[in-house]
Amino acid sequence: MNRFKSFLIALLVVVIVPFISSFSSLYIASIQHKAQAHSLQVASNTLNFGSYASFNDSYMQCVGSDGSYYWSGVFQTFAQVVYAPCRTQMLADIDFLGRNNVKTVRLWPVLSTFAYDNNTHTWGNLNSDIANLDEVLAELAKYHMKAYITVMTTPDCSDPPEITTKLGYYFNPDLINNATTQDQFMQAFQAFIARYKNNQAIYAYDVVNEMTFILANPPTKTSRGYCDLPYDTKDFTKTKALLARIYTTAKSIDTLHKFTFSFTQPYGVNSQMVNTFRNVVDYYDIHAYSLDPPAFYANFPVYDKPVIQGETGIPGTVYDHHGNDCEGVGSNYYENILPAMVPECQQKWLSNAQSFVQQAQQHNIKALFFHLWTPSKAYGVRLYDSNNNFIGYQLTTAGQYIINLANSSDSST
- The answer to whether 264 and 213 are in contact (CB under 8 A) is yes
- In DSSP terms, 263 is beta-bridged to 286
Domains of the chain: 12-411 (3.20.20.80)
The letter for the amino acid at 220 is T
How many alpha carbons lie under 13 Å from residue 218 in its C-beta half-sphere? 9
Cβ-based neighbours of 100, under 8 Å, separated by 6 or more: 35, 37, 38, 403, 406, 407
**How would you write the pLDDT of the chain (413 residues) with one tens digit per residue?**
544 333 333 333 333 333 233 333 344 443 333 333 322 233 333 455 657 999 999 887 888 888 888 887 788 899 999 999 999 999 999 999 999 999 999 999 999 999 999 999 999 999 999 999 999 999 999 999 999 999 999 999 999 999 999 999 999 999 999 999 999 999 999 999 999 999 999 999 999 999 999 999 999 999 999 999 999 999 999 999 999 999 999 999 999 999 999 999 999 999 999 999 999 999 999 999 999 999 999 999 999 999 999 999 999 888 999 998 888 776 666 666 777 788 999 999 999 999 999 999 999 999 999 999 866 788 998 888 888 899 999 999 999 999 999 988 544 44
Q: What CA–CA distance (Å, rounded) separates 52 from 42?
A: 10
In whole angstroms, how far apart are CA 44 and each of 103, 111, 184, 367? 9, 29, 38, 10
Output the pTM of the full model: 0.88
Q: What CA–CA distance (Å, rounded) separates 63 from 67?
A: 6
Q: What CA–CA distance (Å, rounded) separates 295 from 359?
A: 10
- In DSSP terms, 54 is beta-bridged to 369
